[in-house]
Amino acid sequence: MTAESRPKSPEAGASARALAPPPVLYGFLLLLALMFAVSYAVGSVAGPVSPGMSGSSDTGVEAPGNGGAGEDGGGGGQDMDGMG
C-alpha cells in the first residue's frame, strides 16, 4: 500500500465522529416525537376536558359557580357551622 491511500491522520476521522451526535440521541428524539403524536391523537379523540372550558361554543348556558360574589355570601365556611 502506498502512503497516499491511507488516511492522513487518525485524528481526522475521530474529529468528524466527535462532532456528530450520538445515535442514542436520534432514538430519543424519535421516541419523543412518537409519544407526542400518540398523546395528541388520544387528546383529540377524547375531546375537551370540560365542555364549559372551551370558549368557542355559545350555548347561552352559564356554568355553575359564575353567578358572582353574592352566591354564597362570600364567607366560604358555611359548611362548618357546628365547629368551634
Q: What is the pLDDT of residues 36-76, one digit of tens each?
A: 999 999 999 988 877 776 655 555 556 566 555 555 555 55
Looking at residue 37, its pLDDT comes to: 98
Answer yes or no: is pLDDT of 19 > 90. no
Q: Give the C-alpha separation, 18 to 16, whole Å.
A: 5
Q: Is 13 helix (H, G, I), strand (E, B) or coil?
A: helix
pLDDT digits (tens, 9 = 90+) for 27-43: 999 999 999 999 999 99
The residue length of the chain stands at: 84
pLDDT at 84 over 60: no
